[in-house]
Amino acid sequence: MYFLSGWPKRLLCPLGSPAEAPFHVQSDPQRTFFAVLASARLSIWYSRPSVLIVTYKESAKSSSQFGSYKQAEWKPDSTMIAVSTANGYILFFHITSTRGDKYLYEPVYPKGSPQMKGTPHFKEEQCAPALTLEMKKILDLQAPIMSLQSVLEDLLVATSDGLLHLIHWEGMTNGRKAINLCTVPFSVDLQSSRAGSFLGFADVHIRDMEYCATLDGFAVVFNDGKVGFITPVSSRFTAEQLHGVWPQDVIDGTCVAVNNKYRLMAFGCASGSVQVYTIDNTTGAMLLSHKLELTAKQYPDIWNKTGAVKLVKWSPDNSVVIVTWEYGGLSLWSVFGAQLICTLGGDFAYRSDGTKKDPLKINSMSWGAEGYHLWVISGFGSQNTEIESEPKSIVKQPGILLFQFIKSALTVNPCMSNQEQVLLQGEDRLYLNCGEASQTQNPRSSSGLSKPSREKSSFTDEGFESQGLSTLLGHRHWHVVQISSTYLESNWPIRFSAIDKLGQNIAVVGKFGFAHYSLLTKKWKLFGNITQEQNMIVTGGLAWWNDFIVLACYNISDRQEELRVYLRTSNLDNAFAHVTKAQAETLLLSVFRDMVIVFRADCSICLYSIERKADGPNTTAGIQVLQEVSMSRYIPHPFLVVSVTLTSVSTENGITLKMPQQARDAESIMLNLAGQLIMLQRDRSGPQIREKDSNPNQRKLLPFCPPVVLAQSVENVWTTCRASKQKRHLLEALWLSCGGAGMKVWLPLFPRDHRKPHSFLSQRIMLPFHINIYPLAVLFEDALVLGAVNDTLLYDCLYTRNSAREQLEVLFPFCVVERTSQIYLHHILRQLLVRNLGEQALLLAQSCSALPYFPHVLELMLHEVLEEEATSREPIPDPLLPTVAKFITEFPLFLQTVVHCARKTEYALWNYLFAAVGNPKDLFEECLMAQDLDTAASYLIILQNMEVPAVSRQHATLLFNTALEQGKWDLCRHMIRFLKAIGSGESETPPSTPTAQEPSSSGGFEFFRNRSISLSQSAENVPASKFSLQKTLSMPSGPSGKRWSKDSDCAENMYIDMMLWRHARRLLEEVRLKDLGCFAAQLGFELISWLCKERARAARVDNFVIALKRLHKDFLWPLPIIPASSISSPFKNGKFRTVGEQLLKSQPADPFLNLEIDPGISNVQRSQSWLSNIGPTHHEVDTASSHGPQMQDAFLSPLSNRGDECSIGSATDLTESSSMVDGDWTVVDENFSTLSLTQSELEHISMELASKGPHKSQVQLRYLLHIFMEAGCLDWCIVIGLILRESSIINQILVIIQTTEVDGEMLQNIKTGLHAVDRWASADCPGYKPFLNIIKPQLQKLSEITEEQVQPEAFQPITVGKTPEQTSPRAEESRGSSGHGSIPQGEVGGGSVVSRKEENTTRAEEEEPFQDGTYDCSVS
């Protein structure tokens, strides 16, 4: 509503003695001038610029006669001021402007500037006028004056002798005698007998009073604390004609303020609260509407800190009230009691070092024009003393503080309530919450906010596609638009503002005319002809309709009320406007679809249709009257109507209507009458529904039924004209903001599956709910409320000197306005469940289940109900938690919701929660069945706290095995830690958190660390992952500093190792080498030592062919292809030689580093984390190999037709840089043709490229080869050697076999395995034959060795100059000695041999070879 902005300004008054400091400020009715009183001075200030114009100083002699000045009151036309004095005099001052064209302050423009001096009203708008003050009349009332109030043409004065004087402004009593209050009858309401009880005691007098025009009477506060309302029974104002009503329960009233628009009387009380009363229309009694009081919840130490209420003031637009107390402080409340600002806490009350500040004490305050400023005269009484103690003390210059406010556009232009944007207006700028739209769109696109998240998908959720949700929530900053200074100069202050549906254009209305701004072009559009601008006064607000601005205005020169429509894209000129004359002044205007609804000063409502017309070259809009409805029977005063809107909402929600399309028409008029929401529906009882509609307009002309009151205390109403089948509940609902009572929604109820509804059931229901923010806009489909909230920043630390104590920056924090939003869906679901409307709640929830924060909604609902019910002192007769739990089980997110809720509530409430939702053991098992391991891990923590250790260990084991199975390494690491922690705490309290160093993480890995191979690190320094199992609940670090006992530790480690071994065994049996590598690398599993033990058991290769096939598949390694036969060889001419050279040229030293084909061509399923940079279409390669010779001749030949599909371009990867474009192969530098390649060399190159897998796979395979070598699993080494097709590996294995004692069974296994591979290659995969032929000699040697081993061990052949230095079967030692002697270093490690220097470079390069697709586990 209203928000403080920045620091207050200080206006310095002229120097004088401290006794002459000002103490009272009063604005004139137009809020242009401010009268400021000191004890013997009257000053007049101007509002913009805020300058002092004239001061009248009383002479000492007359000052002693009159006494000091007390109060001032302006005549309604601002030509006179009445000032009351202490000794019972009233002084009447005349204000006259100086003769001629004289001004105190005039703007000076540089020569040649475009500002026109000749514009009408120029002087009055721009310059501070020169005024004179003269005292014309003195009236002596012979008793101290308590209050004076301007009433129409008279001045009403209350004196301390209990009299009411009615005085004419000319200073005459007109012979009317004063009314004695003792003669005015008072009663509880106006219906009781005329002889009400009189006040009855002599010394009663009025302490404060204010006139209420819309109630036609005075709200009064008596000196004994009673309050009342005095109204003239007839038009004559005499004692006999006055009657008073009073509430019985107020006895400590101090002051009063009246809200004319909402007919409210706010009485300040000595207790510090404000009681707001209204008058009952039927009985005339005073009814308590609501109270404004600070709660102990927000301000725990508030009791008796505030003192009595000192002043209460309503804003000029009647939408907020400001309250200040005797002991200081200031608070701001909406009409019906929502607190917006309070300066008694936070940065207003405390300095940045934590010391308490003196609260701001306010002596007098007055609102400025349109509520953008609050003029405050403060009494910083106590603070002057500190400063005067300084040697060169000067008298502190008194001043007036100006607090600056920005306010919601809804306060003045309620037609903005069908928009989804938040728009705030300050005196010279606008704040929007949809600024990003302009950046994310190009100006040509007309699609609106539909896809803003495409451009910035890096930080918005894909789920935010609906209606530009990301744009409306976006970030916390406002898009601030400065209002054109040219327009402001002559039209300050801004009265109305409006934004269009898409949030791309804004229009503002000042004193005269209007201007509009485009967020896309960042330009303002003003009237070209300034006379046209100054000739119109917008009266009833303005609204956007598509590209048009619709407004109601008064034409000054024609003295005519008009309705005008301007096109945004054309020049701003009346020539392009469509003008319709209106009978009476328009007070409110709103647009619904293609209709305009207007409320006029004669209490009538008029509906217009609006349509676009292409009228020759220029487009205009046509307006026609559809219907008029007179409301004068129901509306006592036109000023009381706060808003009027046309909606498609009705008590029937479209199912029961005979014609479904009628449900979406303008069904009803919603009228906010002084806080009462009144609905007028179309009357469908007549016969015209049944006959076929010949004329489409006939439907719109249905009459309206008599009005129905829907709700009380309504501040704002939101409805939308959009329709959607999916979210009917939310889009056909009506949203109300009710101040301190929170929000209400009038929700439609739909029968399930379009069954016929019960006639006795209501079709709508009003549900109240509380939210923590003040609502400014409702996002209907997204179930969000948008708002704004004041935030404060302290800058007092910048001023350290003592003299800076008086700096405003020290006394006050800097105020900013933050955007906020809140989900309301869980409130509505809960209200429906309370009312046993579970079916409706389910329909509503299912329609919203796609929202990104829907899980959060369910969690919030469960959490709130749990907190309330589990902590309540009395037993709850009908608990809601079981219902809510049952409701949540309808959704797949049930398990997550429950566990997240439990983790966020204290342990004491868990039993209550799980009694309703089910046993956590069962829920854990459900998670496992649903494969939701992360959630299961969360349940484990709950089990650990609620069950004995044996149970949680059993469940942890289950989860650990499943996580191993699925390769969730992060989870596995946590589970290992968790199991150890449980093991330690078997006997005592829950265990302390283990340290990061794990005993199992040394061993086989450390062995490699000292070598030059870059390995993934072990589990020592694994970072805490996204969910960590070491929460405070699960593993409190107890007082016991020592780690658990050694034996239980060993047992626990053994238990975990057993599980790890079992998993490794399974992986090997299923030939899942890739998974085995990941598993070892991620969990720090000592693979080598385990393989040594399992060499003869699990680590044997049972079937070489299956193993080979499986590795090809797992590592995406293509099966080899036979090259084109050398007999029919067309590659003899020169240009194809250059192809070969080009190939050689384009490949760097390692031919596998530049594999970067567009991944789009590949139709092979890939794992996303490590394959994203590889591209050859392995699928095609495989088909080529399996079909064998048929496709040979097309393999490198661009002459054949099939060269496109299967040419070298697809089989190998020609990088983009090489010049081989289809059919353009000859454009290669001819100089290279001198190098001639033989046919076999060319085949060799192409085959090399076609038959290698991704570089990463190669690294992984060599890493595995290394490990199997270490462990002495030679049969696996042979398989990897085969797939890599490197004879050096086979040689190396042969050397090991010859130099060490190798198990005969293994040799036999290798021999049979290789024979099987040979048979398979002959039958199915001829691509392997060339390689098998190459290694034939080694295979012969192998079979010889095998046969020798069968003979007795007496004879051991001595190989080529090598003696078996070690005959131990332990592969670790043998590899260390003999291995290094015989193997060229480059051959062993292949791609993964890295020098020590490189290992220490960056962590990024030390990415382990094994990574999983689902988790990104490269931990640094």
Between CA 406 and CA 32 the distance in angstroms is 19
The C-alpha atoms of residue 778 and residue 1055 are separated, in whole angstroms, by 57
> Where is average pLDDT lowest: 92-101, 1007-1016, 1179-1188?
1007-1016
- Asked whether residue 1190 carries a pLDDT value surpassing 70, the answer given is no
User: What is the pLDDT averaged over residues 1241-1254?
Assistant: 73
Q: pLDDT above 90 covers what percent of the chain?
A: 44
Task: Show the CA angle centred on residue 455, arms to residues 450 and 460, nearest 5°.
Answer: 80
CB atoms within 10 A of CB 789: 15
The mean pLDDT of 70-85, rounded to a whole number, is 94
Q: Provide the 3-class DSSP secondary structure of residue 784.
A: strand
65-77 burial code (b ≥16 CB/10 A, e <16): ebbbbbbbbbbee
More reliable by pLDDT, 477 or 91: 91
Q: Strands 242-245 and 185-187, how do they pair?
A: parallel
Q: Is the pLDDT of residue 1011 over 70?
A: no
**Confidence check: pLDDT of 975 > 70:** yes
1046-1101 per-position pLDDT tens digit: 555 678 788 888 999 999 999 988 888 899 999 998 988 888 899 998 888 888 88
Residue range 1332-1355, pLDDT digits in tens: 888 888 888 888 887 776 554 444
Q: What is the DSSP letter of 1117?
A: P
pLDDT: which is higher, 876 or 1358: 876
- pLDDT tens track for 782-815: 899 999 999 999 988 777 666 556 688 888 999 9
Please answer whether residues 638 and 601 qualify as being in contact, where contact means their C-beta atoms are separated by less than 8 angstroms. yes
The rounded mean pLDDT for the chain is 77
pLDDT at 1154 over 60: no
List C-alpha distances in Å: 1166 to 895, 1255, 1339: 31, 15, 36
Helix (H) or strand (E) holding 25: strand 24-27
Residue 1137 has pLDDT above 70, yes or no: no
Whether the predicted pLDDT of 1225 surpasses 60:
no
Query: What is the tens place of the pLDDT at every residue in 156-173?
Result: 999 998 888 888 887 676
Confidence (pLDDT) at 1410:
54
What is d(CA 1187, CA 1197) in angstroms, rounded to the nearest whole number?
Answer: 18
Structure confidence at residue 411 as a pLDDT band (50, 70, 90): very high
| pLDDT mean over 206-235 | 89
**CA–CA dist 716, 410 (Å, integer):** 8
Higher pLDDT pick, 1355 / 188 = 188
Question: Rounded to an integer, what distance in angstroms lies between the CA atom of residue 1009 and that of residue 597?
Answer: 81
DSSP labels, 154-173 = EEEEEETTSEEEEEETTS--
The answer on pLDDT for 204 being more than 80 is yes
Confidence (pLDDT) at 1352: 46
Specify the pLDDT at position 1061.
92
Q: 1124: which DSSP letter?
A: P
Banded pLDDT at 191 (limits 50, 70, 90) = confident
- Give the mean pLDDT of 1359-1383: 40
Query: Is it the case that residue 1122 has pLDDT exceeding 60?
Result: yes
Q: Is the pLDDT of residue 677 over 90?
A: yes
Q: CA 1414 to CA 966: how far, in whole Å?
A: 10
Q: According to the model, what pLDDT value does residue 899 have? A: 95
**What's residue 363's pLDDT?**
92
Residue 523: CA count within 13 A, CB half-sphere? 7
* Residue type present at position 1265: L
* Predicted pLDDT at 1359: 40
In this prediction, residues 321-339 reach a mean pLDDT of 94
Mean pLDDT over residues 1252-1271, rounded?
A: 90
Tell me how many helices (H) and strands (E) the chain has: 41, 59
- Is pLDDT at 1144 greater than 90 in this prediction? no
Q: What is the pLDDT of residue 1361?
A: 39
pLDDT for position 884: 96
What is residue 49's predicted lDDT score, i.e. its pLDDT? 86
pLDDT for 1208: 37
Residue 982: C-alpha distances to residues 200, 920, 1030 (Å): 83, 18, 12
Average pLDDT over residues 61-66: 92
**What was the pLDDT predicted at 1142?**
41
The predicted pLDDT at position 399 comes to: 83
The pLDDT value recorded for residue 1307 is: 86
Per the CB < 8 A criterion, the answer to whether 1194 and 1206 are in contact is: yes
Rounded to whole angstroms, how far apart are CA atoms 207 and 308?
15
Task: Describe the chain by its helix, strand, coil percentages, rounded to 5.
Answer: 35, 25, 40
Q: What angle do CA 730, 731, 736 make, to 5 degrees?
A: 70
Q: pLDDT grade, residue 1306 (50/70/90)?
A: confident
Q: How many CA atoms lie within 13 A of 1004 on its CB side?
A: 21
Most confident of 128-132, 761-765, 1394-1398: 128-132
Taking alpha carbons only, the member of 407, 421, 414 closest to residue 371 is: 407
pLDDT digits (tens, 9 = 90+) for 1028-1045: 443 333 333 333 333 344
In tens, the pLDDT along 697-713 reads 444 578 889 999 999 99
pLDDT of residue 99: 63
Phi and psi at residue 1327, in whole multiples of 5°? Answer: -60, -25
Question: Is pLDDT at 453 greater than 90 in this prediction?
Answer: no
Give 1400's pLDDT tier (boundaries 50, 70, 90).
very low
**Look-up of token digits 């556009």:** 409
Q: Residue 975: which H helix or E strand, with range?
A: helix 969-984
For the segment 388-395, the average pLDDT, to the nearest whole number, is 38
- In the numeric block, the tokens 């301000």 are attached to 299
pLDDT of residue 653: 62
Q: Which residues contact 981 (CB under 8 A, 6 or more apart)?
A: 991, 992, 993, 994, 1030, 1034, 1035
Q: What pLDDT does residue 1261 have?
A: 92
In this prediction the pTM is 0.78
- What is the pLDDT confidence band of residue 277, given thresholds at 50, 70 and 90? very high
In this prediction, residues 1353-1382 reach a mean pLDDT of 40
Distances (CA, A) of 800 to 8, 352, 700, 807, 1214: 20, 12, 70, 11, 70
Query: Is residue 242's pLDDT more than 90?
Result: no
What CA–CA distance (Å, rounded) separates 1154 from 1144? 13
pLDDT of residue 281: 86
Q: Is residue 542 classed as helix, strand or coil in its secondary structure?
A: strand
Query: Got the DSSP string for 312-370?
Result: EEE-TTSSEEEEEETTS-EEEEETTS-EEEETTSHHHHB-TTSPBPPPPPEEEEEE-GG
